[in-house]
Structure 1
Amino acid sequence: MRVLICGGGVAGLTLAYWLRRRGIEPVVVERAPHGRLGGYGIDFFGTGYDIAARMGIIDRLTPYQLPVDSVDFVDASGSAGARLTAALLDKIIQGPHLALMHTTLEGALLDAVQDDVEVRFGETITAVRDTGQAVEIDFAGGGTERFDLLVGADGIHSRTRELGFGPEPRFARHLGCRLASYPVPDRYGWGRVRAHYTEPGRQAVLYPTGRPGELIALFLFRSPDAAAVPRAERLDLLRSVLRGMGWITPSLLADAPASESVFMDTMTQIVMPAWHRGRIALVGDACGGMTMVSAQGVSMAMAGAYLLAESLSDSRADLRADSLSSSRADPRADSLSSSRADSLAAESSGHERAFIRYQTLMRGEVRRRQRNALVFARSLVPRTRAGLLAQSLANRLIMREAFAPVLRRQFGAASILPPQTADLGKD
């Protein structure tokens, strides 16, 4: 079985790894020339950590843990009104966890597949034709190829979803905020702290990347408009929205790189009635985007990839059983090798069973985290001073050990995977 994976980010590379381990041939296309750019930090625990451990890449990730000892919610003078300490975070998660840059995880995943998976950078798809027996793909770089299956792992703004399921607005749930981020020089003296400063309708965040002399400035701001902002206009928009903001925000804006280097996107969830159609399936943010406020987007992307690979692998036994009867009745079998005839006769039903199983296992978990994120997002950047006061009081109340179980349920810290069996991950 040959599977095209559109998207070389966390979901796509995880899927490629586990497909290859299960004896299925993946090919990955990624439109970025040398991998994706995502200059922001992620919280990595629970299911994602579990899968990374099964892949043997934890030792590769651990040295790049972000040097953050606490999350401080500060006022305009920089004084912390509430603090999430590392000790309290340990009690919330109750398991191993890492804070990483997004690109650190992607780099480790790429290292894990680069020796035995074909990855084509600077490439994307332009047309998809599901013939019922294969998927014909036209590529932006020219040429057409046939694959047994196509999986879209290309994020919130998935090209695969657009070609195979319909335009993005049909599935997008905009949460009314935008986010932007970029690196700045470390000249602020904050040390091993992630600092959050909030005003009505906007928020500034600053934290170390672990690279000497570098911090990440992250901004959230209310925005009813969900349209994409051209790269050349991003910095002007950010300066306009944050004009007059207190704390060290003016300095962070002054330290901004060229507008084209600013990461900016809407805070959007993707909600779909089905994650598969014919020989096309979606995984990760392409079908179940949860936004950064869920703290589980990366983990659920890896979980979906892992379970999709497992389902496709398990379905191959069904494919062989189906083919024994189906290929005898298929007139094409006379002109094909017996193995290929078996594949053609069986995969039309086998891959559908695999897609259904994968969606059944994942969708409830994704929906629960989307609901939690939707509730949390409403109070993340309060619109009014009254809302900001309520947020400040709530932060002071819940940043205590007694509320650790509540926060644990909010962020779904436990792994959703069953215990590892003896033969897990073997070819």
Structure 2
Amino acid sequence: MKVLVSGAGIAGLALAHRLGTLGHQVVVLEQADGPRTSGYMIDFFGPGYDAAERMGVLPRLLDLGYRVAEAAYVDARGHRVAGLRFDRMARAVNGRLVSILRPDLERAFREDLPVGVTLRFGARVVAVQDGPTRVDVRLADGSTVSGDLLVGADGVHSAVRGLVFGDGHIRYLGFHTAAFTFDDPEVHALVAGRFCVTDTVSRQVGFYGLRDGRVAAFTVHRTPSPDLPADPRAEVVRAYGSLGWVVPRALARCPEEIYYDQVAQVQLPKWSSGRVVLVGDACGAVSLLAGQGASLGIGGAWVLADHLHDLTAYEHTWRPVVEAKQQVARSGARWFLPASPWRLRARRVAMRLSGLPGVDRVVATSLVGKPVTLG
């Protein structure tokens, strides 16, 4: 079977890897001119971890990943006020957890693509014609690519979803997020080996030190509008400029080009239509509040590869998993980023209690969620 995959992100590359290994001809169409270099650190575990192991990519992920000691919440002077040790989370998933930058996760799959997979950058999908025997995809340069199946793996703002299923499937959760890296040896020394997050209301900034000496920063803040700013860097400076600790130093070194997006979920009644199907964030984004988007994207790609000839079975198998994680994210939003001082204090108390014997296991298990098996 010839499969066209729109999107060379995590889900798209994982699907291409799996399909290529199974002997299918795969063409990956990515609108960007090259691999992404921006993105935030994620805790990678669950079904995607299992799928990566089965595909033989896990050793490379562990090589590129980080072993973080803890997530530490700090006050305006940088003093630790609460935290959660990562070894407790790791025990909840039998040690099968690694922290890794999203661009490095993509890199591991991209480097290991099997023969039979063609990766095309600068290939933006602008039209889809679904026929009885093939699907034709027109690109922005005027050329056309045809295949037996088109998979939209092009993220929350999926072009394929918009062209085939229409607009209106994004559920905004009330947050904007950004990520960037900068050079500052002093800040790197302060945060090396752990996530450091500001213990603040309605907005927070997190830092972690990378092995090449840079510091990675991520931000999230509440805002009622899903509209993205014309100047993301200026918006980040405006939203976080009054925070203390090392935040002003980070903002002063923030580059012009950064990752910036709304925090949202994708919900639509059907994941496939004719010879077109969606996977990953394109059909079931859970948002960073759930913390398992990459893992679910890879897991979903594995399941789809096993059900190419029965797309209904693919959706029947994977949709309940995605919807359960989406519900967890929406329920936990008020604790992920507290909107009031009293809720912030309540989260701080809960974090401190998590260090008690017995309680730590309960907290860790609630964070990683119920186990998901690939079958």
Q: TM-score, normalised by structure 1?
A: 0.83
Label 1:393 to 1:405 Cα distance change in 2 as closer, same or farther (>3 A).
closer
1:57-76 to structure 2, matched below 5 A, reads: 57-76=57-76
User: Do the aligned partners of residues 401 and 174 (structure 1) sit closer, same or farther apart at CA in structure 2, a change above 3 Å counting?
Assistant: farther
Matched letter for residue 300 of structure 1: L
Aligned length: 371
Amino acid of the residue matched to residue 164 of structure 1? V
Partner of 1:335: none
Q: What is the 5 A alignment of 1:186-201?
A: 186-188=185-187, 189-190=189-190, 191-201=192-202
The structural deviation recorded for 1:252 is: 1.1
CA contact 2:155–2:282 (8 Å) conserved in 1: yes
Distance 1:400 1:173 in 2: 37
| Matching residue's letter, 2:282 | A
Q: Deviations over 1:120-172 (max 9, x none)?
A: 011111001112322121111221232211110000010000001011xx111
* Range moving further from structure 2, 41-50 or 55-64: 55-64
Superposition deviation, residue 219 in structure 1: 0.9
- Tell me the distance in 2 between the aligned counterparts of 1:103 and 1:376: 26
TM-score normalised by structure 2 residue count:
0.94
| 1:266 equivalent in structure 2 | 262
- Unmatched 5+ stretches in structure 2: none
2:221 aligned partner: 221
Return the offset for 1:277: 1.0
Segment drifting more, 134-143 vs 401-410:
401-410
| Residues 1:401 and 1:50: Cα distance change in structure 2 (over 3 Å) | farther
Structure-to-structure mapping, 1:8-407, within 5 angstroms: 8-113=8-113, 115-167=115-167, 170-185=168-183, 186-188=185-187, 189-190=189-190, 191-211=192-212, 213-230=213-230, 233-258=231-256, 261-312=257-308, 315=309, 354-403=310-359, 404-407=361-364
- The residue type paired with residue 221 of structure 1 is H
Secondary structure in structure 2 of the residue aligned to 1:383: coil
Judge conservation of contact 1:181–1:263 (CA < 8 Å) in 2: yes
CA distance in 2, matches of 1:273, 1:129: 21
CA distance, structure 2, for counterparts of residue 400 and residue 31 of structure 1: 49
Question: SS at the partner of 2:71?
Answer: strand
The whole-number CA distance in structure 2 between the counterparts of 1:412 and 1:357 is 24
Q: Name which of structure 1's ranges 158-167 and 90-99 shifts more when overlaid on structure 2.
A: 90-99
Given that 1:43 and 1:100 are in contact with CA atoms closer than 8 Å, whether structure 2 keeps it comes out as yes
- Residues in 2 aligned to 1:133 and 1:28: alpha-carbon distance in whole angstroms: 20
Answer yes or no: is 1:411 the counterpart of 2:368. Answer: yes
Query: Matched residues in 2 for 1:18 and 1:291: separation?
Result: 24
Query: Cα RMSD (Å) of the superposition?
Result: 1.6
State, as a whole percentage, how many aligned pairs show the same letter. 33
- Structure whose alpha-carbon radius of gyration is higher: 1
Q: 1:240 to 1:123 in 2, by over 3 A?
A: same
Secondary structure of 1:199's match? coil
Structure 1 runs of 4+ off > 4 angstroms? none
1:409 is displaced (CA, Å) by: 4.1
Structure 2 vs 1, CA of residues 101 and 214 (structure 1 numbering), >3 Å: closer, same or farther?
same
Matched residues in 2 for 1:271 and 1:379: separation? 23
Higher helix share: 1
Mapped contact 2:17–2:114 kept (Cα < 8 A): no
| Contact preservation (8 Å) 1:20, 1:117 | yes
> Which structure 1 segments of 5+ residues have no match?
316-353, 419-427
Q: Name the amino acid aligned to 2:298.
A: M
What letter corresponds to residue 28 of structure 1 in structure 2? Answer: V
Shift in CA distance, 257/413, structure 1 to aligned 2, threshold 3 Å:
farther
